[in-house]
């Protein structure tokens, strides 16, 4: 097994991503994210945040520049090595990416697919394996009683927790969450963000979250990166971000991206209670 000595989880050097018709989604991105960091990405719609996430979870490759994950050049990864790297990255999406008609237990245990053989995966649809692992993951997200319910009978917030439980079962080194709370109400959004942070702290995971809400980013993350027009506008400790920077990032409309009713103050350092 390869031993990684570097504290750097991600290193991006002059990353560009260009789609058809010369559409530049990312332009000369330079970033480093260390192991165990908690980082929020903010910026207007179309800024390039989702494209950046797809590069970070290896579902896209850059047009130019270099991306290293655990000191490995992603461009050199193919086949088994690429699958191994992807298995160490857990992703939570806005749309959950669950199979609605399956029971919750099946969706949670999908986090094991990267380690299961094809036959084992098929057999688990009829008789779920590792039931206790799924139950424990649901316990951590506060809904163990939903283990055998159909996923499409759950609320949007509950489905997002199932998606997080799936990542718990996967047990990756990195958790990437792309707009994980944009479809839930403000009070639940805060709960889900706290849950992700609690998991990253307790399990020593690197956490990178893209957020529509400026206030959530400022309240719960020690480091915030602003993305605008495919470039890094700022990359700072939360305490150093000014209202002027946010006005510039959102072209004077950053209050449209806040949740001041749900978050009354910035939280620089807090002990997060168990959500379960």
Q: Looking at the predicted structure, is the pLDDT value of residue 270 above 90?
A: no
Instruction: Give the H/E segment covering residue 55.
Output: helix 49-56
Residue 66 and residue 49: Cα distance in Å, rounded? 18
Whether the CB-CB separation of 177 and 209 falls below 8 Å is answered with yes
Convert the pLDDT of each residue in 95-121 to its tens digit.
888 989 999 999 999 888 755 444 444
Q: From the CB of residue 3, how many other CB atoms can be counted at a distance below 10 Å?
A: 4
- In the prediction, which pLDDT does 79 show? 87
Instruction: Give the alpha-carbon dihedral of 249, 251, 252, 253, to 10 degrees.
Output: -90
Distance CA(52)–CA(92), nearest Å, equals: 14
**Over the stretch 219-245, which tens digit does the pLDDT of each residue have?**
999 999 999 999 999 999 999 999 999
Q: How far apart are CA 173 and CA 89, in angstroms?
A: 6
Strand partners, 223: 39, 237
**pLDDT band with cut points at 50, 70 and 90 for residue 268:** very low
Per-residue tokens: 67: 């991306």
Q: Out of 1-10, 123-132, 214-223, 267-276, which region has the weakest mean confidence (pLDDT)?
A: 267-276
User: Domains of the chain: which residue ranges?
Assistant: 1-88+175-264, 99-171
In three-state secondary structure terms, 222 is coil
The span from the CA of 8 to the CA of 35, in Å, is 6
pLDDT band at 128 (very low <50, low <70, confident <90, very high): low
- In this prediction, residue 274 has a pLDDT band, given cuts at 50, 70 and 90, of very low
Cα gap 116→169, rounded to integer Å: 12
Is domain 1-88+175-264 annotated with CATH 3.40.50.300?
A: yes
- Range of weakest confidence among 75-84, 111-120, 135-144, 220-229: 111-120
Q: What is the pLDDT of residue 248?
A: 95
Q: What share of the chain is helix, strand, coil (3-state, %, to 5)?
A: 40, 25, 35
What confidence score (pLDDT) does residue 54 get?
Answer: 94
φ/ψ of 103, rounded to 5, equals -70, 160
């Amino acid at each position: 097994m390869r031993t990684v000595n570097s504290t750097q989880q991600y290193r991006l050097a002059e990353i560009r991503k260009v789609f058809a018709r010369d559409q530049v989604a990312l332009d000369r991105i330079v970033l480093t994210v260390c192991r165990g960091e908690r980082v929020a990405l903010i910026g207007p719609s179309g800024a390039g945040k989702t494209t950046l996430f797809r590069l970070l979870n290896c579902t896209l490759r850059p047009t130019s520049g270099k991306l290293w994950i655990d000191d490995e050049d992603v461009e050199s990864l193919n086949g088994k090595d690429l699958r191994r790297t992807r298995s160490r990255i857990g992703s939570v999406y806005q749309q959950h990416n669950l199979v609605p008609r399956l029971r919750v237990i099946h969706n949670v245990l999908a986090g094991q697919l990267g380690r299961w053989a094809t036959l084992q995966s098929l057999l688990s649809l009829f008789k779920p394996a590792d039931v206790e692992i799924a139950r424990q993951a649901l316990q951590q997200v506060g809904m163990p009683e939903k283990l055998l319910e159909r996923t499409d009978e759950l609320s949007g917030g509950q489905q997002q927790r199932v998606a997080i439980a799936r990542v718990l079962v996967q047990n990756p080194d990195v958790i990437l969450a792309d707009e994980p709370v944009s479809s839930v109400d403000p009070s639940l959004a805060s709960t889900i963000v706290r849950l992700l942070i609690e998991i990253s702290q307790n399990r020593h995971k690197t956490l990178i979250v893209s957020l529509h809400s400026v206030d959530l980013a400022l309240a719960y993350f020690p480091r915030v990166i602003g993305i605008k027009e495919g470039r890094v506008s700022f990359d700072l400790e939360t305490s150093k971000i000014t209202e002027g920077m946010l006005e510039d990032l959102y072209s004077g409309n950053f209050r449209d991206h806040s949740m001041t009713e749900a978050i009354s103050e910035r939280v620089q350092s807090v002990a997060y209670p168990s959500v379960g």
